[in-house]
Amino acid sequence: MPPLTGILLAAGASRRFGSNKLLAPLADGTPLAVAAARVLVAAVPKALAVVRPGDRFLASLLAAEGLEIVECADAQRGMGFSLAAGVAAAPAAAGWLIALADMPYIKESTVARLAAELAAGATLVAPVYRGRRGHPVGFGRGYRAELLALRGDRGARAILDRSLALLTPIAVDDPGVLYDVDWPADLSAVPARDVATAD
């Protein structure tokens, strides 16, 4: 069976942040997107990153971490287009684990558990921390057509909302699944070391 593919969505415009937040350094100096990429690749060795056209520096950083690079010509039109481009670039995958490049504090063990559930035949998986659903989210191969048809800026939320009966929730002790970086203050609002390594 073809392997799962991890998809790192790294094509956002960072409008609220004021600069390219995916290059912003964490406490240890690691660029935000690189930290997210390392967690994904550790759990899903076959992974790709979707970036905006011309974002060569970010693309080079992510390629150095072992991710295949996919440029999405329609990235400015919303996350749905980027997600569809990632799925299209891995047509033979058994499933896709969709991660966000602005969520660098997720534990490797969390991503590994999600990947294992998906590889074992789960249709749809997501982590749940204290009753709240987080990221990344995994989709089985049966969702390929719906993922390829995504448009707009809601990503795959509509698919999740109408498929809740098929969702396998994975309870995790990992607040990182809920924590994304939108503003510069978010980089220090939660201590990176505590969130990333707490068990």
| Best CA proximity match to 78, nearest among 165, 3, 12 | 12
Q: Mean of the pLDDT values across residues 48-57?
A: 95
- Burial of 92 (C-beta count, 10 Å sphere; 0-12/13-18/19+): exposed
| pLDDT of 192 | 43
**What token pair was written down for 66?**
């072992």
> What are the boundaries of each domain within the chain?
5-188
Quick: pLDDT tens for 93-134: 999 999 999 999 999 999 999 999 999 999 999 999 999 999
CATH architecture of 5-188: Alpha-Beta Complex (3.90)
| pLDDT of 153 | 80
| pLDDT of 186 | 73
Q: Quick one: pLDDT band at residue 46, thresholds 50, 70, 90?
A: very high
